[in-house]
Amino acid sequence: MARIIAIANQKGGVGKTTTAINLSACLAEMNKKVLAIDIDPQGNTSSGLGIDKNKLKNTIYQMIIGECSLADCRLRTSIKDLDILPSNVNLAGAEIELIGVKDREYILKKHIETVRDDYDFIIIDCPPSLNSLTVNAMTTADTVLVPIQCEFYALEGLTQLIHTINLVKQRLNPKLELEGVVFTMYDARTNLSLQVVENVKSNLKQNIYKTIIPRNVRLAEAPSHGIPINIYDPKSAGAEGYRQLAQEVIEKEEADLYDRNDKSKAEKKKFFKKK
Protein backbone atom coordinates (compact mmCIF):
# COMPACT_ATOMS: atom_id res chain seq x y z
CA MET A 1 0.00 0.00 0.00
CA ALA A 2 1.41 3.33 -1.04
CA ARG A 3 2.73 5.93 1.32
CA ILE A 4 1.06 9.17 0.25
CA ILE A 5 3.13 12.34 0.58
CA ALA A 6 1.74 15.81 -0.08
CA ILE A 7 4.35 18.42 -0.94
CA ALA A 8 3.03 21.66 0.45
CA ASN A 9 4.01 25.21 1.27
CA GLN A 10 1.67 28.10 0.53
CA LYS A 11 4.63 30.14 -0.68
CA GLY A 12 5.31 29.99 -4.38
CA GLY A 13 8.74 29.35 -5.80
CA VAL A 14 10.16 27.33 -2.90
CA GLY A 15 10.76 24.15 -4.90
CA LYS A 16 7.53 22.15 -4.40
CA THR A 17 7.14 21.24 -8.06
CA THR A 18 10.85 20.60 -8.58
CA THR A 19 10.73 18.28 -5.57
CA ALA A 20 7.53 16.54 -6.73
CA ILE A 21 8.96 15.83 -10.19
CA ASN A 22 12.41 14.73 -9.14
CA LEU A 23 11.55 12.90 -5.93
CA SER A 24 8.93 10.92 -7.89
CA ALA A 25 11.40 10.14 -10.67
CA CYS A 26 14.20 9.15 -8.27
CA LEU A 27 11.86 6.87 -6.32
CA ALA A 28 10.85 5.25 -9.62
CA GLU A 29 14.53 4.89 -10.50
CA MET A 30 14.90 2.92 -7.26
CA ASN A 31 12.29 0.47 -8.52
CA LYS A 32 9.41 1.94 -6.57
CA LYS A 33 6.06 2.21 -8.28
CA VAL A 34 5.08 5.86 -8.15
CA LEU A 35 2.02 7.95 -8.93
CA ALA A 36 2.58 11.70 -9.15
CA ILE A 37 -0.52 13.82 -8.65
CA ASP A 38 -0.51 17.36 -10.00
CA ILE A 39 -3.12 19.28 -8.06
CA ASP A 40 -1.79 22.72 -8.98
CA PRO A 41 -3.63 24.50 -11.82
CA GLN A 42 -0.25 25.69 -13.08
CA GLY A 43 0.32 22.11 -14.20
CA ASN A 44 4.09 22.37 -13.94
CA THR A 45 4.57 18.85 -12.63
CA SER A 46 2.64 17.61 -15.66
CA SER A 47 4.70 19.53 -18.21
CA GLY A 48 7.91 18.82 -16.29
CA LEU A 49 7.22 15.13 -16.71
CA GLY A 50 6.68 15.52 -20.43
CA ILE A 51 2.88 15.75 -20.55
CA ASP A 52 1.40 18.10 -23.15
CA LYS A 53 -1.06 19.38 -20.57
CA ASN A 54 -3.15 21.63 -22.81
CA LYS A 55 -4.03 18.86 -25.24
CA LEU A 56 -5.68 16.60 -22.67
CA LYS A 57 -9.36 15.75 -22.73
CA ASN A 58 -9.34 14.47 -19.18
CA THR A 59 -7.30 15.85 -16.30
CA ILE A 60 -7.60 15.78 -12.55
CA TYR A 61 -10.10 18.63 -12.90
CA GLN A 62 -12.62 16.43 -14.73
CA MET A 63 -11.98 13.71 -12.15
CA ILE A 64 -12.60 16.03 -9.21
CA ILE A 65 -15.84 17.45 -10.56
CA GLY A 66 -17.05 13.95 -11.37
CA GLU A 67 -16.84 14.04 -15.16
CA CYS A 68 -14.32 11.26 -15.52
CA SER A 69 -12.81 8.40 -13.56
CA LEU A 70 -9.25 8.14 -12.28
CA ALA A 71 -8.48 5.62 -15.02
CA ASP A 72 -9.70 8.13 -17.62
CA CYS A 73 -7.19 10.79 -16.63
CA ARG A 74 -4.24 8.74 -15.42
CA LEU A 75 -1.30 8.69 -17.81
CA ARG A 76 1.97 6.84 -18.03
CA THR A 77 4.99 9.08 -18.23
CA SER A 78 8.02 8.23 -20.34
CA ILE A 79 9.67 7.06 -17.13
CA LYS A 80 9.31 3.44 -16.12
CA ASP A 81 7.13 2.93 -13.02
CA LEU A 82 5.97 6.56 -12.93
CA ASP A 83 2.34 7.45 -13.64
CA ILE A 84 0.70 10.84 -13.32
CA LEU A 85 -2.67 12.44 -12.76
CA PRO A 86 -2.09 15.61 -14.79
CA SER A 87 -3.62 19.04 -14.41
CA ASN A 88 -3.84 22.26 -16.31
CA VAL A 89 -5.32 25.71 -15.85
CA ASN A 90 -8.89 24.35 -15.88
CA LEU A 91 -8.30 23.11 -12.35
CA ALA A 92 -8.47 26.72 -11.16
CA GLY A 93 -12.24 26.46 -11.65
CA ALA A 94 -12.60 23.52 -9.28
CA GLU A 95 -12.47 25.73 -6.20
CA ILE A 96 -15.78 27.39 -7.20
CA GLU A 97 -17.42 24.24 -8.51
CA LEU A 98 -16.82 22.47 -5.22
CA ILE A 99 -18.71 25.05 -3.16
CA GLY A 100 -21.56 23.30 -1.38
CA VAL A 101 -20.60 19.84 -2.64
CA LYS A 102 -21.03 17.22 0.07
CA ASP A 103 -17.76 15.78 1.44
CA ARG A 104 -15.76 17.95 -0.91
CA GLU A 105 -12.69 17.63 1.31
CA TYR A 106 -12.55 13.90 0.55
CA ILE A 107 -13.03 13.81 -3.21
CA LEU A 108 -9.38 13.14 -4.05
CA LYS A 109 -9.08 10.62 -1.23
CA LYS A 110 -12.02 8.57 -2.50
CA HIS A 111 -10.45 8.26 -5.94
CA ILE A 112 -6.96 7.53 -4.65
CA GLU A 113 -8.11 4.78 -2.27
CA THR A 114 -9.01 2.71 -5.33
CA VAL A 115 -5.41 2.65 -6.64
CA ARG A 116 -3.44 2.86 -3.43
CA ASP A 117 -2.43 -0.78 -3.58
CA ASP A 118 -0.97 -0.35 -7.06
CA TYR A 119 1.85 1.95 -5.90
CA ASP A 120 4.66 2.23 -3.36
CA PHE A 121 4.57 6.02 -3.25
CA ILE A 122 2.03 8.63 -4.25
CA ILE A 123 3.45 12.15 -4.42
CA ILE A 124 1.06 15.12 -4.54
CA ASP A 125 2.25 18.53 -5.76
CA CYS A 126 0.11 21.18 -4.06
CA PRO A 127 -0.74 24.69 -5.27
CA PRO A 128 0.89 27.68 -3.55
CA SER A 129 -2.09 28.39 -1.30
CA LEU A 130 -4.04 26.81 1.52
CA ASN A 131 -7.22 26.30 -0.50
CA SER A 132 -9.59 23.36 -0.83
CA LEU A 133 -7.28 21.64 -3.34
CA THR A 134 -4.53 21.67 -0.73
CA VAL A 135 -7.01 20.45 1.87
CA ASN A 136 -7.97 17.60 -0.48
CA ALA A 137 -4.30 16.72 -0.79
CA MET A 138 -3.86 16.75 3.00
CA THR A 139 -6.91 14.57 3.68
CA THR A 140 -5.56 12.07 1.14
CA ALA A 141 -1.97 12.11 2.42
CA ASP A 142 -0.22 10.21 5.19
CA THR A 143 2.42 12.90 5.53
CA VAL A 144 3.25 16.42 4.41
CA LEU A 145 6.70 17.25 3.08
CA VAL A 146 7.53 20.94 3.29
CA PRO A 147 10.23 22.36 1.02
CA ILE A 148 11.92 25.41 2.49
CA GLN A 149 13.90 27.72 0.27
CA CYS A 150 17.20 28.84 1.73
CA GLU A 151 16.36 32.55 1.75
CA PHE A 152 15.95 35.23 4.36
CA TYR A 153 12.16 34.83 4.73
CA ALA A 154 12.32 31.04 4.96
CA LEU A 155 10.39 30.74 8.21
CA GLU A 156 7.67 33.19 7.25
CA GLY A 157 4.36 31.40 6.79
CA LEU A 158 5.64 28.18 8.29
CA THR A 159 3.64 28.65 11.50
CA GLN A 160 0.47 29.06 9.47
CA LEU A 161 1.27 25.99 7.41
CA ILE A 162 1.86 23.86 10.50
CA HIS A 163 -1.38 25.23 11.98
CA THR A 164 -3.23 24.18 8.82
CA ILE A 165 -1.71 20.71 8.95
CA ASN A 166 -2.83 20.41 12.59
CA LEU A 167 -6.36 21.57 11.75
CA VAL A 168 -6.66 19.00 8.99
CA LYS A 169 -5.33 16.38 11.38
CA GLN A 170 -7.87 17.28 14.07
CA ARG A 171 -10.89 17.57 11.83
CA LEU A 172 -10.41 15.59 8.65
CA ASN A 173 -7.46 13.19 8.70
CA PRO A 174 -6.31 12.03 12.16
CA LYS A 175 -3.46 10.02 10.65
CA LEU A 176 -1.77 12.99 9.01
CA GLU A 177 1.84 13.60 10.07
CA LEU A 178 4.52 16.03 9.08
CA GLU A 179 6.95 14.08 6.92
CA GLY A 180 9.52 16.76 7.50
CA VAL A 181 11.09 19.80 5.96
CA VAL A 182 13.67 19.76 3.21
CA PHE A 183 15.90 22.67 2.37
CA THR A 184 16.03 23.63 -1.30
CA MET A 185 18.16 25.92 -3.45
CA TYR A 186 21.06 25.81 -1.04
CA ASP A 187 23.88 27.98 -2.28
CA ALA A 188 27.16 26.87 -0.77
CA ARG A 189 28.84 30.09 -1.89
CA THR A 190 26.77 32.30 0.39
CA ASN A 191 26.69 32.57 4.15
CA LEU A 192 22.97 33.25 3.95
CA SER A 193 22.05 29.69 2.97
CA LEU A 194 24.01 28.33 5.90
CA GLN A 195 22.47 30.84 8.30
CA VAL A 196 18.95 29.96 7.12
CA VAL A 197 19.59 26.26 7.69
CA GLU A 198 21.00 26.91 11.17
CA ASN A 199 18.15 29.25 12.04
CA VAL A 200 15.40 26.89 10.92
CA LYS A 201 17.07 23.98 12.70
CA SER A 202 17.14 25.85 15.99
CA ASN A 203 13.54 27.07 15.64
CA LEU A 204 11.85 23.97 14.39
CA LYS A 205 11.19 20.85 16.39
CA GLN A 206 10.03 18.94 13.33
CA ASN A 207 11.90 16.35 11.37
CA ILE A 208 14.44 17.94 9.07
CA TYR A 209 15.84 15.93 6.20
CA LYS A 210 19.60 15.50 6.21
CA THR A 211 19.58 15.92 2.46
CA ILE A 212 19.87 19.53 1.37
CA ILE A 213 19.00 20.24 -2.25
CA PRO A 214 21.63 22.52 -3.78
CA ARG A 215 20.90 25.39 -6.10
CA ASN A 216 21.70 23.83 -9.44
CA VAL A 217 20.90 25.35 -12.80
CA ARG A 218 20.36 21.90 -14.33
CA LEU A 219 17.30 21.53 -12.07
CA ALA A 220 15.85 24.71 -13.53
CA GLU A 221 16.60 23.61 -17.12
CA ALA A 222 15.21 20.08 -16.99
CA PRO A 223 11.47 20.96 -17.00
CA SER A 224 11.70 22.70 -20.37
CA HIS A 225 12.81 19.35 -21.80
CA GLY A 226 9.97 17.51 -20.06
CA ILE A 227 12.26 15.15 -18.21
CA PRO A 228 13.37 14.84 -14.59
CA ILE A 229 16.88 15.64 -13.46
CA ASN A 230 18.05 12.03 -13.08
CA ILE A 231 17.53 11.59 -16.80
CA TYR A 232 18.37 15.10 -18.00
CA ASP A 233 21.72 15.20 -16.22
CA PRO A 234 22.17 12.07 -14.10
CA LYS A 235 25.52 13.17 -12.68
CA SER A 236 24.52 16.71 -11.73
CA ALA A 237 24.50 17.90 -8.13
CA GLY A 238 20.71 18.27 -8.42
CA ALA A 239 20.28 14.64 -9.46
CA GLU A 240 22.50 13.50 -6.61
CA GLY A 241 20.49 15.62 -4.18
CA TYR A 242 17.14 14.20 -5.20
CA ARG A 243 18.48 10.64 -5.23
CA GLN A 244 19.65 11.13 -1.67
CA LEU A 245 16.28 12.57 -0.70
CA ALA A 246 14.48 9.61 -2.27
CA GLN A 247 16.72 7.26 -0.30
CA GLU A 248 15.92 9.11 2.92
CA VAL A 249 12.18 9.07 2.18
CA ILE A 250 12.35 5.30 1.68
CA GLU A 251 14.29 4.86 4.92
CA LYS A 252 11.83 7.02 6.82
CA GLU A 253 8.95 4.93 5.58
CA GLU A 254 10.72 1.77 6.70
CA ALA A 255 11.48 3.30 10.10
CA ASP A 256 7.81 4.30 10.49
CA LEU A 257 6.75 0.75 9.72
CA TYR A 258 9.04 -0.48 12.50
CA ASP A 259 7.72 2.17 14.87
CA ARG A 260 4.21 0.96 14.33
CA ASN A 261 5.39 -2.41 15.58
CA ASP A 262 4.84 -3.72 12.17
CA LYS A 263 8.17 -5.43 11.93
CA SER A 264 7.11 -8.24 9.69
CA LYS A 265 5.83 -5.81 7.08
CA ALA A 266 9.04 -3.81 7.08
CA GLU A 267 11.11 -6.94 6.89
CA LYS A 268 9.00 -8.19 4.06
CA LYS A 269 9.63 -4.98 2.19
CA LYS A 270 13.37 -5.29 2.68
CA PHE A 271 13.21 -8.88 1.51
CA PHE A 272 11.48 -7.88 -1.68
CA LYS A 273 13.96 -5.09 -2.22
CA LYS A 274 16.84 -7.56 -2.09
CA LYS A 275 15.15 -9.79 -4.66
Ligand X SMILES: Nc1ncnc2c1ncn2[C@@H]1O[C@H](COP(=O)(O)OP(=O)(O)O)[C@@H](O)[C@H]1O
**Which of 139, 143, 144 lies closest to 171 in space, CA to CA?**
139
d(CA 73, CA 118): 16
Query: Based on CB atoms, which residue is closest to ligand X, 16 or 109?
Result: 16
Contact 107, 64 (CB under 8 A): yes
Q: What is the DSSP letter of 65?
A: T
* Residue 185 binding partner per list ligand X, Mg ion, none, with a CB distance cut-off of 5 to 8 Å that depends on partner kind: ligand X
DSSP state for residue 151 in the 8-state scheme: S
Which of residues 21 and 64 has its CB atom nearest to Mg ion in the complex? 21
Residues 6 or more apart whose Cβ sits within 8 Å of residue 29: 230, 243, 246
- In the bound state with ligand X, the residue whose beta carbon lies nearer, of 24 and 58, is 24
Question: Of these, 18, 46, 77, 139, which contacts ligand X (CB under 6 A)?
Answer: 18
Q: Is residue 66 near ligand X by the rule CB under 6 A?
A: no
Contact assessment for residue 105 and residue 7, using Cβ atoms and an 8 Å cutoff: no
Q: Which amino acid is at 77?
A: T
128 binds ligand X (CB under 6 A): yes
Q: Binding segment for ligand X among 86-94, 112-120, 210-218, 245-253 (CB under 6 A)?
A: 210-218
Residue type, 88: N
Judged by CB under 6 A, the chain residues 172 through 191 that form the site for ligand X are 184-185
Does 12 bind ligand X (CB under 6 A)? Our answer is yes
Interface with ligand X, residue 86, by CB under 6 A? no
Span of 103-111, 134-142, 163-171, 212-220 interacting with ligand X by CB under 6 A: 212-220
Stretch that binds ligand X, among 64-72, 80-88, 137-145, 215-223 (CB under 6 A): 215-223
- Give Cβ neighbours of residue 31 (< 8 Å, ≥ 6 apart): 81, 273
17 binds Mg ion (CB under 5 A): yes
Q: x/- string (CB under 6 A) for ligand X, residues 137-176? A: ----------------------------------------
Task: Say which amino acid occupies 253.
Answer: E
The stretch among 8-16, 113-121, 158-166, 178-186 that binds Mg ion (CB under 5 A) is 8-16
Residue 71, judged by CB atoms within 10 A of its CB (0-12, 13-18, 19+), counts as exposed
Cα–Cα dist 99/88, whole Å: 20
Q: Tell me the torsion sign for CA atoms 62, 66, 68, 70.
A: positive
The site for Mg ion (CB under 5 A) is made up of 16-17
The site for ligand X (CB under 6 A) is made up of 12-18, 44, 128, 184-185, 213, 215-216, 219-220, 238
